[in-house]
Amino acid sequence: MLFSIVTASYNSGDEIRKTYNSLLLQNYRIFEWIIVDGESETYSRNVLQELVKSAPFSVKYISESDNGVFDAFNKGLKMASGKWIGFLGCGDEYYPGILESVISFIGNADDNEVVYGIIDFVRQDGAHFWYTTDEKYLDEGRMMHHAATFVKKDKYVEIGGFNVKYKSASDLDAFIKIKRSGARFVFVPYVVTKFNTGGLSTSGSLPYEERMEIMHEYGMVAKKRWIRFIIVKKLKRLRTAIKKLRFDTHKEKP
């Protein structure tokens, strides 16, 4: 098996049908789809089971509680039999024929260990914008998107998978470790995946905060910048606590 495509799901409903349909549009069908579900409610489980039964390619499926998306990714890695791993979120879609295009860049070269392309971000208002970045910018906290990247399973095993203490940026942590292991990165000049924004990794302050923590851990953040970050973070938490106290006090008034 060349590819294992891992999808973490939770109450995905009909969104996962989009992901499934994008896999149907691949000319190359010798891959397995691994669905790691976090004990979804009945309707979503029924949809998943329907797709498992109808798929014209190999599917592995589990449904059990987990500790977030990266915990689910780790479970998918353990289940994977493919040489190369891709992660595709619920509702996200590979563009038609992209697996076949990726194969031409993987080739037979054993020294290629990470293959990445362009991600097509789709905002909630329907606007599209394309993004990718070179691996050298990992040292600045910028990375290729995991949904447009394929990594040899051996590399994920070597680094111990994803660190589940990071809820939104564990992929950055993993890619930095993979780069520092001496892995060879190869760019694929194609738009690989349509990715819907608005999830945990693209909204709120958590992605930025975790990225800063990861960069600090690897010595990538200047001391002054780190101190400023800590002060701002504590002030935000203090403001949130004051607002909550005022709200609770107001509720208690007769």
Average pLDDT over residues 175-203: 85
Is 207 or 253 the better-scoring residue by pLDDT? 207
d(CA 150, CA 243): 44
188 has a pLDDT exceeding 60: yes
Beta bridge partners of 93: 194
- Residues 6 or more apart whose Cβ sits within 8 Å of residue 207: 168, 169, 200, 201
The CATH H-level superfamily of 3-198 is: Spore Coat Polysaccharide Biosynthesis Protein SpsA; Chain A (3.90.550.10)
How many alpha carbons lie under 13 Å from residue 17 in its C-beta half-sphere? 8
106 vs 26, more confident? 26
Mean of all residue pLDDT scores within the chain: 89
pLDDT band at 191 (very low <50, low <70, confident <90, very high): very high
- Residues sharing a CB contact under 8 Å with residue 5, sequence separation 6 or more, in sequence order: 23, 31, 32, 33, 34, 86, 87, 88
Predicted model pTM: 0.87
Residues 6 or more apart whose Cβ sits within 8 Å of residue 88: 5, 6, 7, 19, 22, 94, 147, 193
Is pLDDT above 60 for 92? yes
DSSP designation for 85:
E
pLDDT-derived band of residue 108, with 50, 70 and 90 as boundaries?
Answer: low
